[in-house]
Structures are given as structure tokens and as C-alpha cells.
């Protein structure tokens, strides 16, 4: 058996249709793009040419709440500024970029943008929850100065590569020769230590291909070091492809910094 | 001098002409040969308690049918004043008032098919009566293509459910192959603080985190039956392949070779093997193994950097992969490692090949015509090497993957800033953004 019912009056149908249109258009609204800030108040000296203050289109940290030890990504996008800086040790940055941070406590980052039209500032806060970090273990007994980590950081230089290449350039040859001597000293001071040779790539090739390219770079650097007498068993290789960039600007100076072999503490 | 120049010009035009002619063939394929059925879909109404649910029902039905790419959807503003709700309402003649099929076939609606019906609350359930008629037939009996009945819960979810089911049956009726209903998109998101594997419905709903490895987990690949994902993770230090059950999110065992790199896993069409890249012999080269990683065997012995092995869905002895250095390109190779040939022509850098279910076409990303890193989505006929560009340098457009229906693509794009997941039809139209939060990359489309 079917249920029959009377048709709606035409006016009611129209209302429903209109309502539907409103609903549909409301639902299809796109991502919440931050609206531009209201225009700057009129300048005190009307004679001066109307120069716009820098505009901070985006300054956010995500996630805005993390557990202690986790990381969050700070992102910014500024227009009309000559000089953009962020406090809390980040310093001068490009107009658009992002950085992964692991703050120990709840931190408010302040972005300051200076341009021909004045200054603009914005804040972003990340809330850090969870128990306070336990004290670190005592430093390992070492005959040399500093920890293994600090020695790797201070004594070893990154090895740089050309685009889509794992060839050891002349400057890389010089860096690796210095690194080989430094590694021998580090291994003498830390007889049980291993060091990881990380291979990295710039952002331009595909992520999948860059995993392989990064592996070739770390292997090329490792092979060069072992030829100079660094014990092969103390070196491990790993490729991060383009997953762990040291900077994220899209220009050659940043790309070059990312096309590298980098040293870190082995497990 | 002048003659030489003229000759050059003529040659250039001839080359351009043939390029355009080639492009038209594949263009015809991606837009679908021939005309599409012109569908008039009336706004369904509901009896009693069903009426408040009809806004959700009608927008779902319309969006599904339009999104299928199978139909030319007619504008509701051109419809006649009235429309039938039941087959009994149809008349032979109605002077364009709407109760005759001819009223819909003629101007201004110009529909080849009419979709109508209604819903009612019946015994606490929502019941949908849905009909599809060919407007060009005068005999009502032969004009009736579908008269279906569906039931769902008496709430908005139920209304959306029956709309999906009805739309799906209509799409199937008109030869739309492989439904999207129930299909899911798997991807990588860093919104939780680390790159983890996530899942969502194909329309972007129900986004859920699948892994919590708190490391770098990237490059998922979904098995043909949608039951497993293989991905690359740094959870144990070096990049290794991990397998996860899509239903339970539980990790399944996979034997990784002793190597600095095991990555880029993909399933064979029969779902019984996994191709991947490993540095077990030094260079990143293609290997194949059983689903648990055992019985591995090296396929390729080339002095190159190889990535992304992808076996043809119709011909398991043919595979694609990406290789460099010197500008990464897509290659084809027999699955025993011989017969290597370049697929892309050496221009720019090419990556991310994805087989169409027909085994004849691929989608891939290519920087051809743009600066290094500026990838766009292309579709190519693998037999003729003809190609069409679908995105046009709005940010980086990467990892295009075909939907099970062979008409949609999912891809990642930085067109709105950070990388997000989008879908579009194979002709580049109907682009929809599915993710908003964090950075989202590496989408793949599973049947479930």
C-alpha cells in the first residue's frame, strides 16, 4: 500500500526552493580564509604618501595545544614588509614560511613586520600540557670536551650537493676531509659511539624519488669517509628525502642548504 | 635566409598542428566519447515527518549524480511548473505543465531522462519511491527505466543514505562503471603533530587517524580489495615498509630486508604480492615479495635511482616505475626486469604514475613546461603516449590517483597554501577540496 498526500501550494514550494538555495550556498562555503585586517587609520600627517602598513595574513601555530615533548608547526605569511622577525629565538625570517618547534612550556610567539608604511605585529600561542620534563640523564663519561651530540654539532660540517646529484663536489671533498679527521677524534673520545650520515634533498623532486636520492647522498658521503680511514662499522646511513628540511623557503639558498649530508648521533 | 626562416616556421606549425591533433584524441577519451544523458532531477518531497529531511536528500541526490560525470544535469530553474511524483501522475499530453514526459523532452528543459519520486514516513522508517523515465518515448511502459523502492532510518542520515543508494543505481543503469559508494581515500596528515596515515570517505567526510606511530609515516598504497595499506615509516629508525589493516588499524607483519631503505610499496592487481624499492644491494632498486615481505626477489639491476613501481591492473607482466638521476622520468618494464622503455619523453621531471582501471591510461605528475618542482597532473594513453594536462600551475599538483570508477582522480595540491587533498573529474573539472587542517599529502583511493 502506498501513502498518498496532497501537493504543496506553489508559494510553499517556492519558499522551500529558496530555503534550499540558501542552505546549499551556505554549505558550500570554502575554507575559512582569514579576512584581511581592517584598513589602517588615516595617517596623522595627511601630506605623506599613503603607504600601507605590512599585513600579517597568517600567523598561526598548529596544533595550538600539545603535550610536552611533541612539536607544533608555526606558520606565517606577511605582505608589504621589508623585515619580518619572530621572537623566542627564531629571529629574522622570510615573508612566508613555517617552522617546526618543540617548546618546553606554553609559549607566545610574537611576529614583528616592519615595512615602509610602519609596523605590524601578531601573536600565536601554543599551550604545552603534561608533566614537566624529567631531568636529563647525567652526561656520559668522556675524555674529550662536551657530549657526543655537541661534538657532532660543533666539529662536523654538512656536505652539500648539486641538484639531483650525489657526486662529491670539490667543496664537499674539503668538508669531508675535515669531517673524517673530526670523526676519528670523536670515535677515539667515544669508543662505543656510532654516527648517522643523513641524506637530505631540496623540495623540488618528488618525495618518492627523493628518498632514493637522499640514500645515494648519505652513501656517497659515507664511502668517501671510509676511504679516508673512518671505520665503516661506526657509520650508519639514513635518507630523509625531503621530509626533514632545515629551511622551507623556495629559493636557491635554502634549496642548497637542504641538498646535504648531515651528521647525527647513532642509536 | 628568408627561405630558411619560412621553412622553419612551416615546420613549427606542422609540429604544433600534429600535437593539437594528438591532444584531441585523448581529450575525447577523458571527456567521454559521445553525448551524455541529459538528466532532469526534480526536487523530491516527503509526506509528513519525511518532509524536513528532503533538503539533505535532494542535495545529496543531485550532487552524487552531477559528481559522477556521467550526466548533463539540467537546471531546475528551467523545469515546468509541475512534476509527477508517481508513475500514475504521468499523462500523455499536458501542454508543458509538467505531467507529460514530452514537457521535459522539449525546450527549455531538453532532458533526455526524468528522475522523480517521493519519500514517506512508513512504520517508523523513511521509504523512498524513485522512478526514472526516458522522456523521448511515447509509450509509458517502454519509457520506464527504473521504479525502485528504498528504506532508511527516519532521520537525516537515513535520507542521505537512500539518496546515495538511488543515485548509485541510476549511475550504474547508465553504464557508470565502478561505484564510489563506500570507497575511501587514505592520505598522510601532520595535523596531530606528526605525519600519520589518515582515512576519510571519498567525499571528505569522517576523517580519521589510522596510525599513531609518532614518527614520519608516508606514501601509503591501498590493496585492490581495500583491506590493507602498505606505507613507508621511520618508526623503527630507517625508512621501512609497514602494513596496516584498514578495518581495524592493526599493524600486520612485513619482513623488511636488511637495508638503509625499504620504501614505495604497491600491491599487485591480484593483491597477493608487493612491489617496493630497497637498497639491499646498494642502489634503490625494484623488488617483489609476498604480502608478508617473505620470498623477496630483485627485479631490476640498473645503475639508477628507482622509485614507485606500479603493476598494470590488466597485464601483470607490465609495470611502470620512476627513475633518475638526470631529471626523473617514468619508465615501463616487463615485470621480470627487461624491456625498459621511457614513457615520458625526457622533458622536465615526471613522477607518481597511477594506472587507470582499464590498464590503458595513466595519470601522473610532470613539470613539463614549468620550473623544477612545479608539478601538474597529466593523463596519458600508455599505448600512443598522447597526453593531456589537467592542472595548470596552481601550486604543486602531485600524487594523482584514479578512483575505482575510473572517472575521478584524487591528488594533492598547494594551490591554496599548504598541501591539501582534492578530487576532480578526469577532464579536470569539478575540483573539490577535501582537507583543510594541517598539511595533507600522498592520497590513494581504495574501494573501501
Decide if A224 is inside a domain.
Answer: yes
pLDDT at B13 over 80: no
The predicted structure's pLDDT at residue B179: 65
Decide if A75 is inside a domain.
Answer: yes
pLDDT at A45 over 50: no
Beta strand pairing call for B285-290 and B305-311: unpaired
The predicted structure's pLDDT at residue A90: 86
Asked whether residue A158 falls in the same domain as residue A259, the answer is yes
Cβ-defined contact of B365 to A206 (cutoff 8 Å) = yes
Q: A1 — contact with chain B (CB < 8 Å)?
A: no
User: What is the tens place of the pLDDT at every residue in A152-199?
Assistant: 999 999 999 999 999 999 999 999 999 999 999 999 999 999 999 999
Rounded percentage of chain A residues whose pLDDT exceeds 70:
75
Asked whether residue A162 falls in the same domain as residue A251, the answer is yes
Decide if A36 is inside a domain.
Answer: no
Mean residue pLDDT of chain A comes to: 82
pTM across the whole model:
0.69
Q: What is the ipTM of this complex?
A: 0.79
Beta strand pairing call for B440-446 and B184-189: antiparallel
Cβ-defined contact of B307 to A19 (cutoff 8 Å) = no
Q: Which among B192, B398, B436 has CB closest to A206?
A: B398
The predicted structure's pLDDT at residue B178: 53
B418 neighbourhood in chain A, CB within 8 Å: 75
Identify the closest residue of chain A to B46 by CA–CA distance: A5
Asked whether residue A158 falls in the same domain as residue A248, the answer is yes
- Dihedral angle at the C-alpha atoms of A243, A249, A251, A254, nearest 10 degrees? -60
The predicted structure's pLDDT at residue A40: 40
Q: Which among B237, B327, B438 has CB closest to A267?
A: B237
For chain A, the domain total comes to 2
Question: Which residues between 44 and 83 in chain A have a beta carbon less than 8 angstroms from any beta carbon of chain B?
Answer: 58, 62-63, 66, 70-73, 75, 77
The predicted structure's pLDDT at residue B24: 55
Report the alpha-carbon distance of residue A245 to residue B2 in Å, rounded.
53
Asked whether residue A171 falls in the same domain as residue A217, the answer is yes
Q: Bridge-partner residues for B288, per DSSP?
A: B275, B297
Report the alpha-carbon distance of residue A185 to residue A188 in Å, rounded.
5
pLDDT at B297 over 60: yes
Q: Which among B190, B219, B372 has CB closest to A208?
A: B219
Asked whether residue A198 falls in the same domain as residue A258, the answer is yes
Q: A20 — contact with chain B (CB < 8 Å)?
A: yes
Asked whether residue A161 falls in the same domain as residue A81, the answer is no
Decide if A134 is inside a domain.
Answer: no
Between chain A and chain B, the number of residue pairs with CB atoms below 8 A apart is 142
Q: A85 — contact with chain B (CB < 8 Å)?
A: no
Q: Which among A7, A209, A218 has CB closest to B305?
A: A209
The predicted structure's pLDDT at residue A67: 86
The predicted structure's pLDDT at residue A244: 97
- Dihedral angle at the C-alpha atoms of B418, B420, B424, B429, nearest 10 degrees? -20
CATH number of A111's domain: 2.60.40.10
Asked whether residue A183 falls in the same domain as residue A97, the answer is no
B365 neighbourhood in chain A, CB within 8 Å: 206
The predicted structure's pLDDT at residue A80: 86
The whole domain housing A82 covers 55-129
Q: What are phi and psi of B343, to 5 degrees?
A: -95, -50
CATH number of A198's domain: 3.30.1330.60
Asked whether residue A64 falls in the same domain as residue A159, the answer is no
Q: A28 — contact with chain B (CB < 8 Å)?
A: no
pLDDT band at A136; cut points 50, 70, 90: low
Distance between A245 CA and the closest CA of chain B, angstroms: 13
User: What is the tens place of the pLDDT at every residue in B154-203?
Assistant: 999 999 999 999 998 898 888 665 568 789 999 999 999 999 999 999 98
The predicted structure's pLDDT at residue A135: 62
pLDDT band at B147; cut points 50, 70, 90: very high
pLDDT at A19 over 60: no
User: What is the tens place of the pLDDT at every residue in B37-93?
Assistant: 899 999 999 998 999 999 999 999 999 898 888 898 999 998 999 999 999 999 988
Asked whether residue A124 falls in the same domain as residue A61, the answer is yes
Q: Render the burial of B232-267: b for 16+ CB within 10 Å, e for the rest.
A: bbbeeebbbbbbbebeeeeeeebebbebbbbbbbbb
**A100, A129, A158 — which closes off a domain?**
A129
All cell numbers assigned to B127:
521509504
Amino acid at each position: 500500500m502506498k501513502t498518498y498526500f496532497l501537493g504543496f501550494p506553489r508559494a510553499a514550494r517556492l519558499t522551500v526552493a529558496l530555503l534550499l538555495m540558501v542552505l546549499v550556498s551556505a554549505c558550500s562555503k570554502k575554507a575559512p580564509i582569514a579576512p584581511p585586517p581592517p584598513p589602517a587609520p588615516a595617517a596623522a600627517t595627511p601630506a605623506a604618501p599613503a603607504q600601507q602598513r605590512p599585513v600579517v595574513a597568517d600567523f598561526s601555530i598548529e596544533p595550538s595545544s600539545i603535550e610536552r615533548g611533541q612539536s607544533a608547526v608555526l606558520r606565517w605569511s606577511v605582505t608589504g614588509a621589508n623585515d619580518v622577525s619572530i621572537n623566542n629565538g627564531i629571529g629574522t625570517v622570510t615573508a612566508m614560511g613555517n617552522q617546526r618547534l618543540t617548546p618546553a612550556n606554553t609559549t607566545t610567539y610574537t611576529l614583528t613586520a616592519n615595512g615602509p608604511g610602519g609596523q605590524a605585529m601578531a601573536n600565536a600561542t601554543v599551550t604545552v600540557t603534561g608533566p614537566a620534563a624529567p631531568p636529563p640523564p647525567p652526561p656520559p663519561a668522556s675524555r674529550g670536551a662536551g657530549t657526543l651530540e655537541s661534538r657532532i654539532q660543533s666539529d662536523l660540517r654538512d656536505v652539500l650537493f648539486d641538484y639531483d646529484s650525489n657526486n662529491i663536489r670539490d667543496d664537499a671533498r674539503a668538508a669531508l676531509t675535515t669531517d673524517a679527521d673530526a670523526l676519528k677524534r670523536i670515535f677515539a673520545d667515544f669508543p662505543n659511539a656510532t654516527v648517522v650520515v643523513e641524506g637530505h634533498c631540496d623540495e623540488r623532486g618528488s618525495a618518492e624519488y627523493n628518498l632514493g636520492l637522499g640514500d645515494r647522498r648519505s652513501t656517497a658521503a659515507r664511502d668517501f669517509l671510509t676511504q679516508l680511514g673512518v671505520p665503516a662499522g661506526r657509520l650508519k646511513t639514513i635518507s630523509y628525502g625531503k621530509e626533514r628540511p632545515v629551511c622551507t623557503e623556495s629559493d636557491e639558498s635554502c634549496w642548497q642548504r637542504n641538498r646535504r649530508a648531515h651528521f647525527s648521533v647513532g642509536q | 635566409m628568408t627561405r630558411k626562416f619560412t621553412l622553419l616556421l612551416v615546420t613549427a606549425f606542422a609540429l604544433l598542428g600534429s600535437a593539437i591533433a594528438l591532444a584531441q584524441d585523448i581529450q575525447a577519451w577523458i571527456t567521454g566519447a559521445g553525448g551524455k544523458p541529459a538528466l532532469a532531477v526534480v526536487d523530491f518531497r516527503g509526506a509528513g515527518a519525511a518532509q524536513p529531511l528532503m533538503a539533505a536528500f535532494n542535495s545529496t541526490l543531485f550532487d552524487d549524480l552531477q559528481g559522477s560525470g556521467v550526466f548533463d544535469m539540467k537546471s531546475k530553474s528551467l523545469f515546468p511548473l509541475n512534476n509527477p511524483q508517481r508513475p500514475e501522475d504521468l499523462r500523455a499530453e499536458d501542454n508543458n505543465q509538467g505531467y507529460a514526459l514530452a514537457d521535459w523532452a522539449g525546450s527549455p528543459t531538453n532532458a533526455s531522462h526524468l528522475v522523480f519520486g517521493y519519500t514517506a514516513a512508513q512504520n517508523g522508517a523513511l521509504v523512498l519511491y524513485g522512478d526514472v523515465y526516458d522522456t523521448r518515448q511515447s509509450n509509458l511502459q517502454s519509457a520506464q527505466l527504473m521504479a525502485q523502492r528504498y528504506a532508511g532510518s527516519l532521520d537525516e542520515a537515513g535520507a542521505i543514505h537512500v539518496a546515495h543508494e538511488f543515485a548509485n543505481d541510476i549511475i550504474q543503469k547508465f553504464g557508470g562503471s565502478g561505484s564510489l559508494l563506500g570507497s575511501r581515500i587514505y592520505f598522510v596528515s601532520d595535523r596531530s603533530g606528526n605525519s600519520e596515515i589518515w582515512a576519510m570517505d571519498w567525499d571528505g567526510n569522517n576523517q580519521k587517524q589510522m596510525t599513531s606511530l609518532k614518527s614520519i609515516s608516508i606514501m601509503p598504497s591501498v590493496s585492490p580489495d581495500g583491506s590493507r595499506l602498505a606505507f613507508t615509516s621511520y618508526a623503527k629508525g630507517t625508512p621501512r615498509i609497514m602494513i596496516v589493516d584498514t578495518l581495524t588499524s592493526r599493524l600486520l607483519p612485513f619482513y623488511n630486508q636488511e637495508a638503509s631503505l625499504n620504501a614505495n610499496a604497491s600491491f599487485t592487481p591480484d593483491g597477493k604480492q608487493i612491489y617496493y624499492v630497497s637498497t639491499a644491494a646498494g642502489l634503490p632498486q625494484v623488488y617483489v615479495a609476498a604480502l608478508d615481505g617473505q620470498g623477496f626477489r630483485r627485479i631490476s639491476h640498473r645503475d639508477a635511482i628507482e622509485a614507485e613501481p606500479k603493476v598494470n591492473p590488466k597485464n601483470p607482466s607490465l609495470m611502470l616505475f620512476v627513475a633518475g638521476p638526470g631529471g626523473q622520468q617514468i619508465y615501463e618494464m616487463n615485470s621480470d626486469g627487461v624491456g625498459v622503455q621511457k614513457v615520458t619523453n625526457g622533458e622536465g621531471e615526471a613522477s607518481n604514475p597511477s594506472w587507470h582501471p582499464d590498464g590503458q591510461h595513466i595519470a601522473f605528475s610532470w613539470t613539463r613546461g614549468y620550473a623544477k618542482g612545479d608539478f601538474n597532473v597529466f593523463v596519458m594513453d600508455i599505448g600512443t603516449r598522447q597526453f593531456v594536462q589537467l592542472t595548470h600551475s596552481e601550486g604543486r599538483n602531485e600524487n594523482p590517483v584514479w578512483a575505482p570508477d575510473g572517472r575521478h582522480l584524487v591528488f594533492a595540491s598547494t594551490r591554496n597554501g599548504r598541501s591539501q587533498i582534492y578530487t576532480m573529474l578526469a577532464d579536470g573539472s569539478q575540483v573539490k577540496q577535501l582537507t583543510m587542517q594541517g598539511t595533507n599529502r600522498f592520497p590513494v583511493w581504495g574501494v573501501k
